[in-house]
């Protein structure tokens, strides 16, 4: 398993990411996650769509809460050809509860708790914490990665404008 240290910090401390260092232009790796009803999902389930994958440590933390709410708002202005998917290691039941309480209706939450398949395939599993780092992947309708943002400090928000610019460039 590839380990990468030094590119991301958590509360100022360097952390180790497990998995490959994907690049723009790479084919998006397949994965296995579950939705809030425990139904398994993979990359093929979003075929033909532009995908925004937002990985977060936990929806029950302030920054992850803010980020997911912001992407839910932004999704309202995007066409149906774009899906916004937030992936975390939160249990599906916790994700469903959080989405209901937060009024999230445009972002789909996916849980990577069973296999850590997404985290390991996309290189965002934090070795020390066993959580996902804060990262964004924009994947086109042909499953090619077109934009990647690894937020350098996990406890800060991503650059939403850069993400939306990347998506709008694919429309």
Q: Which CATH number do you get for residue 47?
A: 3.40.30.10
| Torsion sign across C-alpha atoms 64, 70, 71, 72 | positive
Residues annotated catalytic, as ranges: 64
pLDDT tens digits, one per residue of 72-101: 999 999 999 999 999 999 999 999 999 999
Contacts of 166 (CB under 8 A, 6+ apart): 138, 146, 147
Contact between residue 109 and residue 59 where contact means Cβ atoms under 8 Å apart: yes
The Cα–Cα gap between 8 and 37 comes to 32
pLDDT tens digits, one per residue of 119-171: 999 999 999 999 999 999 999 999 999 999 999 999 999 999 999 999 999 99
Domain containing 52: what range?
A: 3-168
* Prediction pTM value: 0.96
When divided into structural domains, the chain yields a total of: 1
How many other CB atoms sit within 10 Å of the CB of residue 110? 23
Strands of the chain, DSSP E:
3-10, 13-18, 33-34, 40-41, 50-55, 82-88, 107-111, 125-126, 131-132, 135-139, 145-150
pLDDT tens digits, one per residue of 46-80: 999 999 999 999 999 999 999 999 999 999 999 99
pLDDT tens digits, one per residue of 106-123: 999 999 999 999 999 999
């Amino acid at each position: 398993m590839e380990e990468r240290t030094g590119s991301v910090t958590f509360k100022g401390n360097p952390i180790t990411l497990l998995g490959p260092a994907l690049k723009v232009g790479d084919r998006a790796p397949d994965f296995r996650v579950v939705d809030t009803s425990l139904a398994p999902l993979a990359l093929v389930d979003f075929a033909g769509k532009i995908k925004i994958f937002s990985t977060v440590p936990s929806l029950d933390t302030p920054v992850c809460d803010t980020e997911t709410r912001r992407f839910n708002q932004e999704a309202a202005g995007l066409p149906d050809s774009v899906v916004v998917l937030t992936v975390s290691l939160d249990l599906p039941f916790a994700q469903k509860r959080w989405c209901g309480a937060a009024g999230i209706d445009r972002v789909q939450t996916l849980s990577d708790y069973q296999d850590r398949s997404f985290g390991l395939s996309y290189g965002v599993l934090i070795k020390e914490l066993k959580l996902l780092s804060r990262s964004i992947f924009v994947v086109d309708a042909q499953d090619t990665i077109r934009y990647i943002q690894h937020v350098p400090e996990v406890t800060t928000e991503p650059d939403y404008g850069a993400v939306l610019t990347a998506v709008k460039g694919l429309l």
